[in-house]
């Protein structure tokens, strides 16, 4: 529709111009296909609810929320939200490993060793250097893995 309107207005403008006046090159709007690759996030969409049915989270959730709900139905914690199991004091030579899927930085809360020996202190752990708790000195190291949807062979 837009293309036809542009073409018609261009033709009208050309018809109105006199043959003695210099011609200006005119070109219609060109449209190209969007460049895409097959390495995009997976599309996670449910079937939706039927007509007249009240939708639930399970039928209308999409994306990461849907993955989390499907995981919960199967008894799997998709985002691994359980707290870290601290069975020792993290040292610079043997730090507590914090896993991250694709993100170079993660927020870590330390409650000391033994667990809950001090109030939770939050700090940023990144892949470049160790994070150390200023209260107890426990060391944390971020281990960055490949996100599930970006894992290629």
pLDDT of residue 119: 95
The model's confidence at residue 102, banded by pLDDT at 50, 70 and 90, is confident
Going by C-alpha positions, the residue among 104, 78, 105, 108 that lies closest to residue 96 is 108
> CA 58, CA 76: separation in Å to the nearest integer?
16
Indicate whether 25 belongs to any domain: no
d(CA 97, CA 117): 20
Residues 74 and 118 in one domain: no
Q: 2-56: per-residue pLDDT in tens?
A: 455 445 555 555 555 545 555 555 555 545 455 555 556 666 777 788 888 888 8
CA distance 37 to 129: 34
The gap from C-alpha 96 to its chain's centroid, in whole angstroms, comes to: 26
Distance CA 1, CA 72 (A): 47
Is the pTM higher than 0.75? The answer reads: no
Residue 22 lies in a domain: no
Same-domain status, 74 and 101: no
In a domain, 102, yes or no: yes
- Domain hosting residue 121, numbered range: 96-150
Residue 111: predicted pLDDT: 92
Mean pLDDT (whole number) for 67-72: 88
Q: Please report the pLDDT score of residue 90 as a whole number.
A: 93
146 with 105, same domain: the answer is: yes
Percent of the chain's residues with pLDDT above 70: 67
CATH number at residue 108: 2.60.260.40
Quote the CA–CA distance of 74 and 66 in Å, as a whole number: 12
For residues 30 and 12, give the distance between their C-alpha atoms in angstroms, rounded to a whole number: 19
């Amino acid at each position: 529709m837009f293309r036809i309107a542009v073409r018609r207005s261009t033709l009208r403008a050309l018809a109105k111009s006199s043959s003695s006046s210099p011609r200006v090159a005119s070109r219609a709007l060109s449209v190209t296909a969007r460049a895409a690759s097959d390495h995009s996030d997976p599309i996670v969409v449910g079937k939706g609810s039927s007509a007249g049915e009240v939708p639930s989270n399970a039928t209308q959730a999409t994306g990461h929320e849907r993955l989390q709900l499907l995981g919960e139905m199967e008894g799997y914690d998709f985002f691994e939200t359980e707290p870290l199991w601290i069975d020792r004091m993290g040292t610079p030579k043997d730090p507590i490993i914090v896993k991250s899927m694709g993100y170079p930085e993660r927020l870590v809360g330390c409650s000391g060793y033994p667990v809950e020996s001090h109030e939770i202190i939050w700090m940023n752990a990144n892949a470049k250097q160790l994070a150390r708790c200023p209260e107890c000195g426990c060391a944390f190291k971020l281990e960055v893995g490949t996100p599930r949807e970006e894992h290629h062979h």
